[in-house]
Amino acid sequence: MNEQRANPNGERDNNPLQEFADALSAGLDGHRTDLKNSTVNLVEGGQVWMNESAARTVTASALQMEDSAAALIQAGSVDGHDSAIALLNTNQATLTDVAALVVIAGQVEATNVRTVALIAGRVEGEVKTIFTPLTAVLTGVGFALTVFGLRRLFGRTKRSR
């Protein structure tokens, strides 16, 4: 049942998440949305394929991105290549050469992924994050000390007047 399918360019696609995407897509009447060289605010569909496109919000059972960008993605599975994402929330992600601000996923397979924060159940591959648990704690402590110091400084200034 793990067969290769053609993508909108007619090329054979050996996506390991294809069966998963087909099952999720069946729940949304199998609706497929293809974007090529497009810019849109909202994309909703069972299976969404983006090539050299940009979207503000994407909601899909399965999303395949190539050379694309999205601000907010909510999807069952995501297969991204050479793309940029602000916030990704998914069950399964296969990402290659992707830059993302925040990734929240159950399972991530990554190759050369850069992100500010990654929250995932299982990660395989190469992910570079800015916030590790240690840097997140240190950033929080620094922020708290800054707020505390500013309160004390401005509290004294008010009492002096």
Coil, strand or helix at 50? strand
What pLDDT score was predicted for residue 6?
A: 44
The single residue listed with the structure tokens 């909703």 is 44
- Mean pLDDT to the nearest integer, 79-97: 95
Give residue-wise pLDDT tens across range 99-126. 999 999 999 999 999 998 888 999 999 8
* 32 in Cβ contact with 18 (< 8 Å): no
The single residue listed with the structure tokens 């069946």 is 26
Q: Tell me, yes or no, if the pTM score tops 0.85.
A: no
30 C-beta neighbours (distance < 10 Å), count: 12
The kind and range of the H/E element at 150 are helix 133-160
Q: How far apart are CA 101 and CA 115, in angstroms?
A: 5
- Mean pLDDT to the nearest integer, 87-91: 96
